């Protein structure tokens, strides 16, 4: 049996060929944490008097509760700030510079093909869109990686998803991954690699690819990954001058291959309370009224998402009683949207625009739901209580559906406006 991209990357970081199921210690190219997860690692390092082995391979991004929402979150961010200053960690971004970690790191050229990336956040799998092996770890695992420059892994098997054909109008990366999770379930790729391939994937821009890999963990996957190509290399131009290695899977490396006709993937909506509860928009016959719409997060807070939302909102106004919160994922995206006049469109429609932050995605701040409220969100999870009250309801969609629903007051396709 051949080797997958993931196996080849891990092999090169261990010094010997690995196979699925092996327990290995591999060198790490980048270990990162945020204001929620990094302080635990920092306290553990301090307990044992251990300094980072290589500060250049550490990144700290306060994004979950930044700008600070209360004293507790201020202390969390302060802990990260002090640690970054003490050890001269250059890959640290404070308020005014920062953005959501999984959007900021690729944008800054920190992520390149062939790396091993560990992050104390489950959506670290996002970075597989650039052909890296990227996996979420716990805070104590992060501490170990910072201290030693290495991490333990069980080498995952690979499921290859091959998509062919042209996506319908208003469908994109979010719909591909929601459709796929709906097909295999939230444990359908448990501790496996989800490798995304086919001519459909090859036609997608990096924004859509990042979205797809971002939600691999929602199917239980250890990582998501896409083979780098010309689109990948064009994305990296001007962002990094680091040398990188492109890996390709052997034809017989997957334990399972699933073929999907992308032409049948219309815009999807995931019903509460799991991402696997996805339905095509045309099959939603009931009227699902919403109180709030959220466009943002590490899944769909990029410029392309804001553009399509603005296209739908232009000349329209939110339905009475609906709140629309728009949060660009990074300062660069914020600046691009501002320059293009997208903020004017959002504000004219009755929306609010926030500084980059994870905010309401994790029920943190900037849009918490009250009991009985319903939201449509471009984020990645709709678990019970994910965005606030355990008695609230969260539906997941792409930015086009979220914008159209904010105008209608209930979940709807832009083509129905």
pLDDT averaged per 10 residues, the chain (length 417): 96 97 97 97 96 98 94 96 97 94 97 98 98 97 98 97 97 98 96 98 98 98 97 96 95 96 97 96 96 97 98 98 97 97 98 95 93 97 94 98 98 94
Task: Assess whether 169 and 139 both reside in one domain.
Answer: yes
- Tell me which residue has tokens 């219309």: 266
The pLDDT, as a whole number, for residue 108 is 96
Q: What is the pLDDT of residues 188-207, one digit of tens each?
A: 999 999 999 999 999 999 99
Task: Assess whether 127 and 226 both reside in one domain.
Answer: yes
Domain count, the chain: 2
Boundaries of domain holding 332: 270-416
Among 234, 261, 288, the domain boundary falls at: 261
Task: Assess whether 53 and 117 both reside in one domain.
Answer: yes
Task: Assess whether 255 and 281 both reside in one domain.
Answer: no
Determine the length of the chain: 417
* Cα first-last separation, the chain: 51
DSSP summary character for residue 289:
B
Task: Assess whether 235 and 280 both reside in one domain.
Answer: no
Among 261, 291, 321, the domain boundary falls at: 261
Task: Assess whether 291 and 143 both reside in one domain.
Answer: no
Among 237, 261, 285, the domain boundary falls at: 261
Half-sphere exposure of residue 316, counting CA atoms within 13 Å on the CB side?
A: 19
Q: Which residues contact 136 (CB under 8 A, 6 or more apart)?
A: 118, 119, 120, 121, 122, 123, 124, 125, 217
Task: Assess whether 275 and 383 both reside in one domain.
Answer: yes
The pLDDT, as a whole number, for residue 1 is 83
- C-beta of residue 133 within 8 angstroms of C-beta of residue 124: no
pTM of the entire predicted model: 0.96
Task: Assess whether 128 and 180 both reside in one domain.
Answer: yes
CATH of the domain at 373: 3.30.499.10
What Cα–Cα distance (Å) separates residue 236 from each residue in 58, 230, 239, 295, 383?
A: 20, 10, 5, 26, 34
Task: Assess whether 223 and 302 both reside in one domain.
Answer: no
What angle (nearest 5°) sits at the alpha carbon of residue 75, between those of residues 71 and 79? 170
Task: Assess whether 366 and 275 both reside in one domain.
Answer: yes
Task: Assess whether 246 and 294 both reside in one domain.
Answer: no
């Amino acid at each position: 049996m051949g080797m997958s991209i993931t196996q080849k990357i891990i092999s090169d970081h261990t010094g010997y060929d690995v196979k699925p199921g092996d327990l290995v210690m591999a060198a790490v190219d980048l270990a990162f944490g945020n204001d929620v997860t990094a302080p635990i690692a920092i306290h553990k390092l301090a307990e044992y008097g251990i300094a980072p082995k290589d500060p250049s391979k550490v990144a700290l991004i306060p994004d979950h509760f930044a700008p600070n929402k209360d004293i507790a979150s201020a202390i969390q961010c302060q802990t990260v700030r002090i640690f970054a200053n003490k050890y001269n960690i250059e890959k640290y971004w404070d308020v005014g510079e920062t953005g959501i970690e999984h959007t900021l790191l690729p944008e800054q050229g920190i992520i390149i093909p062939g790396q091993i990336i560990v992050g104390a956040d489950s959506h670290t799998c996002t970075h597989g869109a650039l052909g890296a092996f990227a996996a979420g770890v716990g805070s104590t695992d992060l501490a170990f990686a910072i201290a030693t420059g290495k991490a333990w892994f069980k080498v995952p098997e690979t499921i290859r998803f091959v998509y062919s054909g042209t996506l319908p109008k208003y469908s994109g990366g979010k719909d591909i991954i929601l459709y796929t999770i709906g097909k295999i379930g939230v444990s359908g790729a448990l501790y496996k690699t989800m490798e995304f391939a086919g001519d459909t994937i090859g036609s997608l821009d990096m924004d859509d690819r990042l979205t797809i890999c971002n939600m691999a963990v929602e199917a239980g996957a250890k990582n998501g990954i896409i083979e780098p190509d010309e689109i990948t290399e064009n994305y990296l131009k001007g962002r990094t001058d680091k040398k990188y290695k492109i890996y390709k899977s052997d034809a017989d490396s997957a334990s399972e291959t699933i073929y999907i006709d992308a032409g049948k993937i219309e815009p999807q909506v995931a019903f509460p309370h799991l991402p696997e509860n996805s339905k095509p928009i045309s099959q939603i016959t009931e009227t699902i009224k919403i109180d709030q719409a959220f466009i943002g997060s590490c899944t769909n807070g990029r410029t392309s998402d804001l553009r399509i939302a603005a296209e739908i909102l232009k000349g329209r106004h939110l339905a009475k009683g609906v709140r629309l919160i728009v949060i660009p994922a990074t300062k660069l995206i914020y600046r691009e949207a501002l320059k293009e006049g997208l903020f004017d469109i959002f504000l004219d429609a009755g929306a609010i625009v926030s500084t980059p932050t994870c905010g309401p995605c994790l029920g943190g701040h900037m849009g918490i739901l009250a009991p009985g409220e319903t939201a449509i969100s471009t984020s990645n999870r709709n678990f019970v209580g994910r965005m606030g009250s355990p008695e609230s309801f969260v539906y997941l969609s792409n930015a086009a559906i979220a914008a159209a629903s904010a105008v209608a007051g209930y979940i709807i396709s832009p083509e129905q406006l």
